Amino acid sequence: MLSTDEPPTLYHSLQQKNNSVLSLAADSDHIYSGSQGEAVNVWDKSTFKLKTSLQGHTASVLALAYAPDLKWLFSASGDSTIRVWSTETLHPLFVLNPHLETDSGDIFCLAWNSAASTIYFGCQNTSLQWFSFDSLVRKSSGRNKVPSSAHALSLEQVLLESGLSSGSSTPRRAHKFFDSYPQYERKPADLNARNPTCSSCSTPPTPPAGTMTPHSLDDPCLQPQSNSSRPHPPTVLQVPPTNMVWSAHYGYVYCMALVPSLTEGSDDVAPSPGDNIQLVTGSGDSTVKVWALSADTPVHQYTFECCQGAVLSIVVRGDTIYAGCQDGYVKVWDLDTRTLVRSIIVSENVDILSLSMLHSDLYTCSANGVVQRWSASFNLTASWRAHEGIVLSSMITRLSDSIDQNGEHADKHSHERFVLVTGANDDQIKIWEVNPPKPPPHASTERRGIWNDEDTDVSRDTMVYALSKFVSIPSVSSSSIHKEDCRQAAIWLRKCLHQLGADASLLPTGDTTNPLVLAKFIGSQTKSPKPRVLFYGHYDVISAPKTGWTSDPFTLSARNGYLYGRGVTDNKGPIMAVACAAADLLGRRALDLDLVFLIEGEEEAGSGGFEDTVRRHKASIGPIDAILVSNSTWIAEDTPCITYGLRGVVHCKVQISNKGPDLHSGVDGGAITEPMTNMIKLLGTLIDKDNRVTLPCFYDSVRPLTEQERQLYKVLSGVTQTPASALSARWREPSLTIHDIRVSGPTNATVIPSTVTARVSIRIVPDQNLDTIAKCLQDHLLNEFKNMHSPNTIEVTVPRTADWWLGNLDDLWFKSLEDAVREEWGVEPLRIREGGSVPSIPYLEKEFSCHALHLPLGQSTDQAHLPNERISLANLRRGKSVVERFFVNVAKKGS
Just list the catalytic residues. 540, 603
Strand partners, 172: none
Rounded Cα distance, 375 and 378, in Å:
5
* Residue 134 CB-density burial (10 A; 0-12 exposed, 13-18 middle, 19+ buried): middle
Q: How far is CA 403 from the centre of its chain?
A: 40
* Residue 685 CB-density burial (10 A; 0-12 exposed, 13-18 middle, 19+ buried): middle
Residue type, 857: L
Which residues have a Cβ under 8 Å from the Cβ of 132 and sit 6 or more positions away?
116, 117, 118, 243
Q: Which helix (H) or strand (E) holds 840?
A: helix 840-848
Residues 65 and 84: beta-carbon distance below 8 Å: no
Rounded Cα distance, 591 and 889, in Å:
11
Helix (H, G, I), strand (E, B), or coil: what is residue 620? Answer: helix
DSSP structure class, residue 388 = S
Residue 21 phi/psi, 5-degree rounding, is -95, 100
Closest CA to 831 of 812, 845, 850, 817: 817
Helix (H, G, I), strand (E, B), or coil: what is residue 443? Answer: helix
Q: How far is CA 711 from the centre of its chain?
A: 51
Angle value at C-alpha 417, between 413 and 420, nearest 5 degrees? 140
Rounded Cα distance, 806 and 794, in Å:
36
Closest CA to 263 of 334, 314, 336: 314
Residue count (the chain): 895
Closest CA to 119 of 153, 85, 159: 85
Closest CA to 797 of 819, 821, 778: 778
Q: Where are the beta strands (DSSP E) in 694-747?
A: 735-743
Q: Which helix (H) or strand (E) holds 130?
A: strand 128-132
Strand partners, 507: 516
Closest CA to 856 of 649, 636, 598: 636
Question: Computed from CA positions of residues 173, 179, 183, 186, in that sequence, does the dihedral angle turn out positive or negative?
Answer: negative
Q: Is the bond preceding 571 in cis, omega lying within 30 degrees of 0?
A: yes
Residues 75 and 61: beta-carbon distance below 8 Å: yes
Helix pair angle (572-587, 483-499), 10° resolution: 20
Strand partners, 382: 373
Helix pair angle (572-587, 462-471), 10° resolution: 150
Closest CA to 787 of 704, 681, 635, 708: 681
Rounded Cα distance, 772 and 783, in Å:
16
Rounded Cα distance, 587 and 499, in Å:
12
Instruction: Count CB atoms within 10 A of the CB of residue 436.
Output: 14
Residue 817 phi/psi, 5-degree rounding, is -70, -40
Residues 89 and 106: beta-carbon distance below 8 Å: no
Pairing of strands 391-400, 380-385: unpaired
Strand partners, 334: 320, 339
Radius of gyration of the chain from its Cα atoms, rounded to whole angstroms: 34
Rounded Cα distance, 599 and 539, in Å:
7
